[in-house]
């Protein structure tokens, strides 16, 4: 029996599928950039904000020093954010190789130490193009030259580049890789459609003068997170059409999934906390539709135990969700050289529904742990 509730559910299902179709179109619109010449001229500053990264920072620095980009055009600034381990000493040991350590020293209680660290590094930089990554990331030797080649061959003021997980050891970590790739694909696809929604600060480049023209982190420094997406939103508002996504495998940055559920939830709460600050209200509206659709799936899944009509409605919704998401994920995972993980959607999708509903509520309420601090 068709009810008003069923009609509403089908309406939101249609909206969700339209969003996924929009993403499929956006990803397809992104083309691999034409290789630029190696006659580079852009002065680059690589920015890293690090806190208690003694286990990872050495490998990251070694990868940065191994870049094929001209050394006389490369500057590496790492800001230590009040580390309590040997992170500063490790960074300092590379001083003779062109790595600059700046130690953030502030008695002021901040909600966003990372934004403060990045902003301080930019004021001390000599580069024209800021390239941000994280202290626990790995990259190939052509990473920087690929980014700069794309920058010099076009007119983009900000470049979002791909990030993926690697060296997974458990099923939980492999599941995160699929889910995280979905998020990376969303950000890329919106840019492919000439809009801006999300990006990842582990692989983000922007002109220094553009950073200052949009006011830096002013107006978004009340949140602990958002040095990436909220800055992206500011640039998109001021300079529409000037943001690019670098769909090139040599530009991929690799990092690690979270080892346990608690740290995973804390990370996703931090990411979700940024959404209400987006400049583009249409993106917020799409996110609300996304959340409502998943909330309906939870409700309809529960009601399916009591009504055959609700069971049929739920099966239609979940079947279409699987189909459209698989179509979207196959080219994204193929690009990331992880197509074999797509089959995990049979496990990830049901859990992802519950996770989206929970994070959508908790992401904008209360405090969460990040780098040994409680922030909001």
> How large is the average pLDDT for residues 80-109?
88
**Domain identity same for 266 and 285:** no
% of the chain exceeding 70 in pLDDT: 92
Tell me whether strands 44-50 and 163-165 are parallel, antiparallel or unpaired: unpaired
DSSP 45-102: EEEEEESS-TTTHHHHHHHHHT--S-GGGEEEEEEE-S-SSSHHHHHHTTGGGTEEEE
**Domain identity same for 156 and 74:** yes
In a domain, 376, yes or no: no
Buried b (16+ CB within 10 A) or exposed e, 53-64: bbebbbebbebb
**Domain identity same for 208 and 314:** no
Indicate the DSSP class of residue 252. Answer: -
Give the pLDDT of residue 266: 85
**Domain identity same for 68 and 14:** no
Count of structural domains within the chain: 2
Of 277, 297, 315, the residue at which a domain comes to its end is 277
pLDDT greater than 80 at residue 337: yes
**Domain identity same for 309 and 326:** yes
**Domain identity same for 207 and 329:** no
In a domain, 295, yes or no: yes
Range of the domain at 319: 4-26+281-371
**Domain identity same for 217 and 349:** no
Of 228, 261, 277, the residue at which a domain comes to its end is 277
Band (235; pLDDT cuts 50, 70, 90) = very high
**Domain identity same for 20 and 43:** no
pLDDT greater than 70 at residue 21: yes
Give the pLDDT of residue 291: 92
């Amino acid at each position: 029996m068709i009810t008003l509730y069923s009609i509403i559910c089908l309406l939101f299902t249609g909206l969700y599928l339209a969003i996924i179709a929009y993403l499929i179109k956006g990803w397809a619109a992104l083309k691999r950039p034409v290789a630029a010449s190696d006659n580079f001229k852009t002065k680059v500053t690589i920015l890293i904000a690090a806190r208690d990264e003694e286990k990872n920072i050495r490998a990251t620095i070694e990868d940065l020093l191994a870049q094929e980009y001209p050394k006389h055009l490369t500057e590496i600034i790492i800001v230590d954010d009040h580390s309590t381990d040997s992170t500063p000493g490790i960074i300092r040991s590379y001083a003779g190789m062109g790595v600059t350590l700046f130690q953030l020293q502030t008695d002021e209680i901040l909600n966003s130490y990372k934004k403060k660290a990045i902003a301080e590094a930019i004021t001390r930089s000599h580069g024209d193009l800021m390239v941000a990554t994280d202290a626990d990331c790995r990259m190939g030797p052509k990473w920087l030259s690929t980014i700069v080649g794309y920058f010099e061959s076009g007119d983009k003021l900000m470049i979002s580049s791909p990030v993926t997980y690697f060296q997974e050891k458990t099923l939980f970590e492999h599941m995160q890789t699929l889910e995280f790739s979905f998020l990376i694909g969303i950000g890329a696809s919106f840019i492919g459609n000439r809009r801006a929604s999300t990006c990842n600060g582990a692989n983000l480049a922007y002109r220094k003068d553009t950073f200052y023209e949009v006011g830096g982190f002013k107006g978004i420094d009340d949140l602990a997170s958002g040095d990436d997406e909220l800055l992206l939103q500011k640039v998109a508002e001021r300079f529409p059409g000037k943001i690019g996504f670098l769909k090139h495998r040599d530009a991929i940055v690799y990092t690690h999934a979270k080892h346990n559920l608690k740290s995973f939830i804390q990370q996703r709460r931090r990411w979700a906390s940024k959404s209400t600050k987006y400049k583009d209200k249409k993106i917020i509206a799409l996110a609300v539709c996304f959340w409502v659709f998943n909330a309906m799936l939870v409700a309809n899944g529960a009601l399916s135990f009591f009504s055959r009509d609700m069971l049929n409605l739920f099966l239609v919704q979940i079947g279409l969700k699987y189909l459209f998401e698989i179509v979207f994920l196959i080219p994204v995972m193929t690009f990331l050289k992880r197509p074999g993980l797509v089959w995990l959607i049979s496990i990830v999708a049901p859990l992802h529904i519950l996770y989206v509903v929970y994070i959508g509520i908790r992401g904008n309420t209360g405090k969460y742990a990040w780098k040994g601090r409680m922030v909001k």
